[in-house]
């Protein structure tokens, strides 16, 4: 599809993203979600055709990472730079937070010339998304009282509930792989727990996948060993989404059987909600000894399910033995990054480049979230950028 056709499609949508934070996909309408996919597609097309979409002459995109990150950190920086913003990472250990500075104060102090704040806060169950909303309230207060000239938008770069930039990049990857969003209707995607020698992986990726893919009429199967439950309220959201979209949502406890006739598979480890609750309290208390004991207990339990590895035998059970393999990366690859892990080395290698393409959509998704937040009529702005066609690389 040409850029102009993509812009026309965008203009046909009725979204409500202007001046709105992007915190959870299930808070957004279907047109909102499709608009983000469409803007991301247009921005990607423009870069491929050497058209610069820089709409900012100056300004900051502040990032706050309370957990480690490679892909999302660089995707956020790439997105901001694509639009003309400078990234400033806030290292909380070097800020006045250590001296008692409040969230309300910090949010305003970093925002005088800031257009966006990207936040990753996924370690504390019940706290990450709550923190983002606390920052949002502080920014509202600062803007309403003329402390801030503009109100920065917030992009959720992963919290305890959702990982919207990841799941939206995954959805765009599926749209491109299968040709359209409509073609995803009726396709079976298996979001499966997989064994990992690490115990504390967040639940936000599987929760984000089941809550988003059920919006588009897909047959979503959530597979995990008994006891590795996700947040019940988000599972209920997935169930309701499936009913509304005409798709389906099923929970099973046998990885092999779940893979039967699957079109797409997403084997990914996570810590069960019971472990995450304990971990959160221990982290809050600074109980190092308690955390060590919890890790030993959790890893011993994980080890009971080492057969939950996505390998050739399980792949052969999928549709035509060639279901699309997906992962947010980094995957725990058996005999490569660990002795035993989520996926066998031969299967991962077969799909490795596709997982890189999957990750490559994330900068454009984040840029699209920024773009839609800043412009009331993004299609009009993109059309003007296309008309000017200022080259990104000047020969």
Tens digit of each residue's pLDDT (9 = 90 or more) over 125-150? 999 999 999 999 999 999 999 999 99
**What does the pLDDT look like over 26-72, one tens digit per residue?**
999 999 999 999 999 999 999 999 999 999 999 999 999 998 899 99
Bridge partners for 22 per DSSP: 155
Do residue 330 and residue 248 come from a single domain? yes
Q: What is the pLDDT of residue 159?
A: 97
Q: What is the pLDDT of residue 123?
A: 87
Q: Which two three-digit tokens encode residue 241?
A: 């989404």
Q: What is the pLDDT of residue 395?
A: 73
- According to DSSP, residue 355 is labeled H
Q: Which phi and psi (to 5°) does residue 322 adopt?
A: -140, 40
Do residue 118 and residue 241 come from a single domain? no
CATH code, domain with 258? 3.40.50.1370
Q: What is the pLDDT of residue 95?
A: 60
Do residue 32 and residue 179 come from a single domain? no
Do residue 320 and residue 264 come from a single domain? yes
Q: What is the pLDDT of residue 374?
A: 98
Q: In total, how many domains does the chain have?
A: 2
Residues whose CB falls within 8 Å of the CB of residue 235, separated by 6 or more in sequence, listed in order: 210, 222, 229, 251
Do residue 344 and residue 379 come from a single domain? no
Task: Give domain status of residue 24, yes or no.
Answer: yes
Q: How far is Cα of residue 317 from the mean position of the Cα atoms in its chain?
A: 28
Task: Give domain status of residue 213, yes or no.
Answer: yes
- The span from the CA of 237 to the CA of 386, in Å, is 39
Bridge partners for 265 per DSSP: 190, 325
Contacts of residues 227-230 at CB distance under 8 Å and 24 or more positions apart, as own/partner, are: 227/272, 227/274, 227/301, 228/193, 228/270, 228/272, 229/272, 229/273, 229/274, 230/203, 230/206, 230/270, 230/273
Do residue 313 and residue 208 come from a single domain? yes
Q: Quick one: 73 exposed, middle or buried, by C-beta within 10 A (0-12, 13-18, 19+)? A: middle
Please state, rounded to an integer, the average pLDDT across all residues of the chain. Answer: 96
Task: Give domain status of residue 395, yes or no.
Answer: no
Q: What is the pLDDT of residue 53?
A: 97
Contact 81, 54 (CB under 8 A): no
pLDDT-flagged residues of the chain (< 70): 93-100
Give the strand order in the sheet containing 188-192: 248-252, 219-223, 188-192, 264-267, 324-325
Do residue 116 and residue 7 come from a single domain? yes
Task: Give domain status of residue 394, yes or no.
Answer: no
Do residue 180 and residue 152 come from a single domain? no
Do residue 229 and residue 354 come from a single domain? yes
Do residue 33 and residue 48 come from a single domain? yes
Q: Which two three-digit tokens encode residue 8?
A: 């026309």
Do residue 125 and residue 87 come from a single domain? yes
Q: What is the pLDDT of residue 96?
A: 56
Q: What is the pLDDT of residue 92?
A: 76
Do residue 65 and residue 172 come from a single domain? no
Task: Give domain status of residue 37, yes or no.
Answer: yes
Q: Which domain holds residue 232?
A: 164-359
Kindly report the pTM of this predicted structure. 0.96
- The span from the CA of 146 to the CA of 33, in Å, is 32
């Amino acid at each position: 599809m040409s850029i102009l056709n993509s812009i026309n499609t965008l203009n046909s949508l009725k979204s409500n993203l202007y001046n709105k934070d992007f915190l959870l996909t299930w808070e957004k309408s279907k047109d909102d979600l499709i608009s983000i996919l469409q803007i991301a597609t247009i921005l990607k097309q423009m870069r491929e055709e050497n058209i610069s979409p820089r709409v900012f002459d100056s300004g900051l995109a502040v990032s706050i990472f309370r957990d480690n990150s490679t892909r999302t950190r660089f995707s956020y920086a790439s997105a901001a730079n694509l639009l003309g913003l400078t990234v400033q990472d806030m290292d909380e250990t070097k800020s006045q937070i250590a001296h008692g500075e409040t969230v309300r104060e910090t949010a305003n102090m970093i925002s005088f010339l800031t257009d966006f704040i990207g936040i990753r806060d996924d370690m504390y169950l019940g706290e990450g998304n709550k923190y983002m909303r606390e920052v949002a309230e502080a920014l509202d207060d600062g803007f309403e009282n003329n402390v801030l000239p503009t109100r920065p938008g917030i992009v959720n770069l992963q919290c305890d509930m959702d990982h919207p930039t990841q799941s939206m990049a995954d959805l765009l990857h599926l749209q491109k792989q299968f040709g359209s969003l409509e073609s995803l209707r009726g396709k079976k995607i298996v979001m499966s727990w997989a064994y990992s020698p690490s115990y504390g992986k967040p639940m936000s990726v599987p929760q984000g996948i089941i809550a988003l893919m059920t919006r588009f009429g897909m047959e979503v199967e959530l597979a995990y060993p008994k006891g590795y439950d996700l947040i019940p309220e988000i599972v209920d959201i997935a169930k309701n989404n499936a009913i509304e979209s005409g798709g389906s949502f099923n929970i099973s406890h046998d990885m092999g059987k779940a893979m039967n006739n699957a079109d797409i598979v997403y084997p990914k480890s996570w810590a069960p909600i019971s472990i995450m609750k304990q971990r959160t309290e221990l982290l809050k208390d600074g109980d190092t000894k308690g955390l060590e004991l919890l890790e030993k207990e959790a890893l011993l339990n994980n080890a009971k399910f080492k057969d939950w590895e996505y390998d050739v035998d399980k792949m052969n059970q999928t549709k035509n033995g060639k279901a699309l393999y997906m992962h947010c990366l980094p995957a725990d690859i058996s005999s490569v990054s660990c002795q035993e892990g989520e996926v066998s080395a031969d299967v991962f290698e077969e799909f490795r480049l596709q997982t890189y393409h999957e990750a490559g959509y994330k900068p454009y998704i984040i840029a699209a979230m920024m773009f839609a937040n800043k412009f009331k009529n993004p299609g009009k702005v993109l059309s003007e950028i296309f008309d000017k066609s200022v080259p990104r690389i000047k020969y």
